[in-house]
Amino acid sequence: MIYLREIKYIDNKDLLSVLNNSSKIQSIRENIQQGDVYIVKNYFDETKCDSIVDYLRKVGQGSFPNYHPIEKGAPNFHRMNKLDPRAYVKGAFHQFNFFPWNQDYFDLFDSCEAAYALKNLTSNHKADKYLKNEPEEGCTARIAAQFYPRGYGLLNKHTDPVDVHQLTVPIMILSQKGKDFNTGGAYVEKEDGEKIILDDICSKGDIIYFSAEIPHGVLPIDPIVKLPWNNFQGRWMLLLAVNKVAGNTLIADATDLES
C-alpha cells in the first residue's frame, strides 16, 4: 500500500504541453506511483460546473433512480447507493453514469478528452484508450457524477485496483466547500494516518490525480444537518473512471478498508 507523499499542481493552460512531453509524462507517472497527488487547476470553469449540477439535480428529481450493469450498450442512468450492503465499498451517494457510446447534453467525453489523455498516458496507454463506442479488452471509460447529500453522504476508506486498465482514478470537483456544504469531503491518507481533505485545497473545476492504491474516501458531509435526499444539496464531483465490464474477473474489485 502507498500513501500521500506530496501535492503538486498543473495549470490547465499548461496541460497540452504536458501531454506532448513524454519525459514529463514519465515523471508524473513515477511520482504518482510513489504517492504524489497532482491537481490540474481550472479544467472546467465555475459556470460549466454549475450547469452540470443544475441539470443533474433536475434529472434526479424528475425520474426514478435505476441500476444497469456496466456492459456494451448500457444506457446512461442514475442510481442511489444508500449504504447498500451489496456494494464493494460502503457509502451513501447518488451516482449519474455516462458511457462513451451515448450522447449527452454536455458532450462530457469530448470535454474531458485531455483529462482522460493524462489518465491514460500515465497508465502507459494511448491517450484515447477505452474511449471508443464499445468496450476494449474487457473495460470501458465511464464518467460518473457523484452527489453526497448533506446529512447522509459518505464513502468508506478504500483502495481501487491498479491494474492493466489504470494507475489513477481522477476526480473533478463540482461543488465548493463552505458554500455547498461545510464539513467533510474527499480525502487521501498519509502514512501516519492523517487525512488530507481535497475539498479544502481545491476549487470547482479542478481535477485531482492520485494512485488508486492510496487509501481514500469521503468523510461524512454535514452529518448533523438532515435534509431531504431529493433536495440534492451537498457535495458534487465527477469521477473519470475506467471500469471493467460485467463478467470481467481478471481485474480485482475495490477494497473497503473499514468493513
- What's the pLDDT at 54? 98
Nearest CA-CA partner of 122 in 247, 199, 8, 244: 8
What pLDDT band is residue 28 in, cutting at 50, 70 and 90?
very high
Of the pLDDT bands very low, low, confident and very high (cuts 50, 70, 90), residue 118 is very high
Binned at pLDDT 50, 70 and 90, residue 151 comes out as very high
pLDDT of residue 108: 98
Residue 251 · residue 153 · CB < 8 Å:
no
Q: What is the largest CA-CA distance in the chain?
A: 49
Q: What percent of the chain has pLDDT over 70?
A: 100
**Which pLDDT tens digit goes with each residue over 184-236?**
999 999 999 999 999 999 999 999 999 999 999 999 999 999 899 999 999 99
The strand pairing partners of 77, in sequence order, are: 97
Whether 259 shows a pLDDT value over 90: the answer reads no
pLDDT mean over 247-255 = 94
Quick one: which H or E segment has residue 21? Answer: none
* Average pLDDT value for the chain: 97
pTM for the model stands at: 0.96
Tell me the H-state helices in the chain: 15-19, 22-33, 46-62, 108-111, 113-122
**Is the distance from CB of 184 to CB of 223 less than 8 angstroms?**
yes
pLDDT of 182: 98
pLDDT for 50-96, tens place per residue?
999 999 999 999 999 999 999 999 999 999 999 999 999 999 999 99
Q: Report the candidate in 240, 185, 244 with the shortest Cα–Cα distance to residue 210.
A: 240
Local confidence band at 154 (pLDDT 50, 70, 90 cut-offs): very high
Mean pLDDT along residues 119-137: 97
Q: Report, as an integer, the average pLDDT of 173-184.
A: 98
Helix (H, G, I), strand (E, B) or coil at 2: coil
In this prediction, residue 226 carries a pLDDT of 83
- In eight-state DSSP terms, residue 136 is B
pLDDT band, residue 40 (cuts 50/70/90): very high
pLDDT band for 148, please (50, 70, 90 cuts). Answer: very high
Residue 235, pLDDT score: 98
